[in-house]
Chains A and B, each alone.
Chain A
Amino acid sequence: MNVDRIVAVILRQAYESRRNLDRMMDMLYWPVLDVFLWGFFTVYLSRTGTLRPGIVGFLLGGAILWGVFRAFQRDMTIGVLSDLWSRNLGTLFATPLTVWEYMGALLALNLAKTVAGVSFAALIAWIAYAYKIFPFTLRLLPSLLNLILFAFVVGLAITGLILRFTTRIQGLTWSFTGFLLPVSCVFYPVSSLPRSLRPVAWALPTTHAFEGMRAVLAGKPAPAAYLVWGLLLNLLYLAATVAFFHWMFERARAEGLLVKQD
């Protein structure tokens, strides 16, 4: 890993983001929209008297953390897509840059963007609904890290698929997390799911992260089991996805798709 080359890729993405309204919107617009949407919903529930204690925290916390997961995965993939759209990917890989330096740079950049995005969403939740997620930050950190790690895994897998099967399947960038949403139990506990879906839910690190989040927001001690299971699943998926991505990248190189996508 060469730090100068990683910095070069970070700068390339940062320059593009600065001039691209879509990217700025992605970073701030969707997290804030989610907070407002779920905030209004909890206000409505509280007025109808059907609000259980702690539900505001579960819903807003879920909205903020799911926003982190979705944004991180999407922005990882969009970083690669922007180089494919501008036919710059081949130019980059004609330099000594390695594919892992490239992905490492996207990871570092998205970590910074995530911190900015989640801070902004949490600030809005605090201003609009007096919902303070900041006091829980330290105890939510394991859940947050598991979510980010799984977002990286999913982003890596989707990027590999796009490299291999071209931008014809780029819609996965925006749609795949939607497929995970119902079984990740973001806004409800696993026990709400039909029995047949529960093993699927428990196989996802996201489910462990959100169960952990709810325990923390309910004022219980940070549950180590959710963190450990989430981490173990993440490491398993990460190992498999790294091998899968490498395979997809080499297949794309064999097919000449780094230079011509169509």
Chain B
Amino acid sequence: MLVEVAHLVKRFRDVTVVDGVSFSIADGEILGLLGPNGAGKSTTIQMVMGLIRPTSGEIRIFGLSFSRHRGEILRRMNIASPYLSLPARLTVYESLDIYARLYGVTHRAEKIAQLLQRFEIEHLRASLVGRLSSGEVVRVTLARALLNEPKLLLLDEPTAFLDPHAAARMRETILAVQRDSGMAVLYTSHNMAEVEQMCSRIVFLHRGRVLVTGSPIEVSRSILRTDINRPALQEVYQHVAAGRVR
């Protein structure tokens, strides 16, 4: 397994935000981490990334313990999240160049040019990040997240600020990159149709705990308790968000 998360717990003072979460991600897999607001998705992702220290539990990535091999692990993974921004007063190229240096990317200029082209943002190369539209920022953020050709990519609501057309284009791009590189992806989104399209397996969180794990159709059947023959994650989501699941 590429990622193994075991019995992960995070408490902020008296509040338990993540409560014994376990899951794994196989090489090349796209795993969806779903749940209503406050389910613990972003906290879990940020713990996997080492930005938040877990209260207890273990995270192993590429077979290595995160606490002992932080640098080695982070060189081979990346993240795009609305909680993580780029400096507003730097141009798109400057930002990408700095992050390419941080990841030790060789042939930085070629790599950046290739990503700017892939995300159709070559014209923004000299624009200040602070002057970009939210949709443009998402594309730059994704380009940044692919600079080091990660083996594991964490995508926290990557299409949240995009219009439906741009979101569809973005999904296609992510899937194409994933097919080409074989990277594994941990994906969160509130758009259930998007999750059904992108993810082969889902971990559904509720109040910090894993409610169910399985394919979209298995998750739908398990939570809705019906023998449906198609994924119905939107209904699942509403069902859980309305508190009809304990």
Contact = CB atoms under 8 A, between A and B. Distances in A.
Interface of A: 2, 4-5, 7-9, 11-12, 15-16, 19-20, 82-83, 86-88, 90-98, 250, 253-256, 258-260
B1 interface: no
B103 to A, nearest CB: 6
12 contacts: A4-B104, A8-B99, A12-B94, A15-B98, A16-B89, A16-B90, A82-B87, A90-B46, A90-B84, A253-B51, A253-B52, A254-B52
Give the interface centre of A11, A96, A98 by most chain B CB atoms within 10 Å.
Answer: A96
Contacts of A5: 101-102, 104
Given A86-B86, A88-B87, A96-B74, A11 B52 contact: no
Contacts of B99: 8, 91, 95
Interface in B80-107: 83-91, 94, 97-99, 101-104
Interface secondary structure of B, over-half rule: mixed
B89 A250 contact: no
A93 B87 contact: no
Contacts of A91: 84-86, 99, 144
A259 B52 contact: yes
A7 B101 contact: yes
A91 B144 CA distance: 10
Contacts of B71: 96, 98
A253 B70 CA distance: 14
Given A4-B104, A8-B101, A256-B12, A94 B85 contact: no
A97 B127 CA distance: 26
A169 B86 CA distance: 23
Given A93-B51, A258-B51, 19 more contacts: A2-B104, A8-B99, A8-B101, A11-B101, A12-B94, A15-B87, A15-B89, A20-B89, A86-B87, A87-B83, A87-B84, A90-B51, A91-B86, A94-B84, A95-B103, A96-B72, A256-B52, A259-B46, A259-B84
B89 A19 contact: yes
Given A15-B94, A250-B53, A258-B51, A92 B88 contact: no
B43 interface: yes
A256 B50 CA distance: 10
Given A88-B85, A256-B51, A96 B101 contact: no
Contact of B53 (A8, A11, A253): A253
Contacts of B86: 86, 88, 91
A80 to B, nearest CB: 13
A161 to B, nearest CB: 19
Interface in B162-178: none
Closest 10 CB pairs of A and B: A8-B101, A87-B85, A91-B84, A95-B102, A96-B71, A256-B52, A96-B74, A254-B53, A19-B89, A86-B87
Contacts of A9: 98
B85 A86 contact: yes
B75 interface: yes
B79 interface: yes
B45 to A, nearest CB: 10
Contact of B102 (A96, A250, A260): A96
A205 to B, nearest CB: 33
B98 A12 contact: yes
Contacts of B90: 12, 15-16
Nearest to B148: A95
Contacts of B52: 253-254, 256, 258-259
B78 interface: yes
A69 B194 CA distance: 54
A137 B176 CA distance: 61
Contacts of B46: 90, 256, 259
A16 B99 CA distance: 15
Contacts of B74: 94-96
B49 interface: yes
Contact of B83 (A8, A90, A98): A90
Contacts of A96: 70-72, 74-75, 102-104
> Quick one: which of B53, B85, B102, B103 has the most chain A CB within 10 A?
B102
Contacts of A93: 50-51
Interface centre among B53, B101, B128 (most CB of A within 10 A): B101
B158 to A, nearest CB: 14
